């Protein structure tokens, strides 16, 4: 009510002086502005309080409705689930016979042999043998003995071993070892093995083997040294 009175009084003074073309007094202008501000504040407070009163019953109703629903809901007791006992799984054991057969197969499939250098007399090493792996030091090429096949690294099969003979992979036979002789399968005696030396029959080439090798290793060495014909 005070704000209304102040605003009306200040407005009267201001408009009265403006109509009579007189200077507007500062006090009247202050009253008019202050009254308008107070009226706006009262209006804002009224709107806020009205909104709160309007929302409060709705919230209370929602809370009461939730409480009633919780009271109405029956308590559901969960029945304990029966325990399921897992039957022990049968333990699988491998038979000793199969283990023995497996070990025997591994022994047969893996070549038994030593490691040695093959040196050309008067020149130096040309091959290096390490069990199933052979390095041709002239071309830095690796070969591997896998069962009866000889494979070149990065390529594929190059030789096939059959008993005492070796042939080109899927091709013709090359050499065979019989006792201390190295024979061309189609050509007769070519070289001899005596002690740690491998010597061509016409004495044109002689090689030193620094350690003992098995038959498969020797056949691959011969094929790599003397090649196809």
Q: What pLDDT was estimated at residue 52?
A: 75
Mean pLDDT of 49-53: 77
Residue 184 contacts residue 229 (beta carbons within 8 Å): yes
Q: What pLDDT was estimated at residue 63?
A: 52
* pLDDT tops 70 at residue 165: yes
The rounded distance, in Å, linking the Cα atoms of 152 and 144 is 7
Both tokens of 136, joined, read 């041709």
Is the model more confident about 84 or about 157? 157
89-140 tens-digit pLDDT: 655 555 555 554 445 444 444 555 789 999 999 999 999 999 999 999 999 9
- Give percent above pLDDT 70 in the chain: 67
Q: Where are the domains of the chain?
A: 2-62, 110-226
**What contacts 67, CB < 8 A, 6 or more positions away?**
none
Mean pLDDT of 16-32: 70
Cα 144-145-148 angle, rounded to 5 deg: 145
The rounded distance, in Å, linking the Cα atoms of 13 and 9 is 6
Mean pLDDT of 71-88: 59
178-217 tens-digit pLDDT: 999 999 999 899 999 999 999 999 999 999 999 999 999 9
Q: Structure pTM?
A: 0.52
Mean pLDDT of 215-224: 97
The torsion of the CA quartet 143, 146, 147, 151, rounded to 10 degrees, works out to -50
Q: How far from 186 is each of 26, 54, 84, 216, CA to CA, in Å? A: 135, 115, 76, 20
One DSSP character per residue, 69-125 reads: HHHHSPPPPPPPPPPPPPPPPPPP---HHHHHHHHHHHHHHS----EEEEEETTTEE
């Amino acid at each position: 009510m005070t704000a209304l009175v102040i605003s009306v009084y200040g407005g009267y003074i201001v408009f009265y002086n403006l109509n009579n073309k007189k200077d507007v007094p500062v006090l009247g202008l202050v009253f008019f502005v202050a009254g308008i501000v107070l009226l706006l504040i009262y209006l804002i407070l009224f709107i806020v309080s009205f909104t709160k009163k309007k929302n409060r019953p709705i919230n209370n109703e929602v809370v009461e409705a939730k409480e009633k629903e919780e009271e109405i809901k029956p308590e559901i007791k969960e029945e304990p689930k029966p325990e399921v006992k897992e039957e022990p799984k049968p333990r699988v054991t491998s038979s000793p016979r199969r283990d023995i057969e497996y070990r025997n197969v591994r022994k047969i499939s893996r070549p038994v042999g030593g490691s040695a250098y093959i040196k050309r007399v008067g020149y130096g090493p040309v091959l290096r043998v390490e069990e199933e792996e052979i390095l041709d030091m002239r071309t830095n090429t690796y070969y591997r003995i896998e069962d009866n096949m000889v494979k070149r690294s990065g390529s594929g099969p190059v030789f096939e071993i059959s008993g005492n003979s070796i042939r080109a992979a899927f091709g013709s036979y090359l050499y065979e070892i019989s006792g201390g002789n190295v024979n061309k399968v189609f050509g007769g005696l070519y070289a001899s093995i005596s002690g740690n030396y491998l010597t061509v029959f016409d004495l044109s080439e002689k090689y030193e083997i620094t350690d003992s090798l098995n038959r498969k290793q020797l056949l691959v060495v011969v094929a790599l040294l003397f090649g196809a014909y």
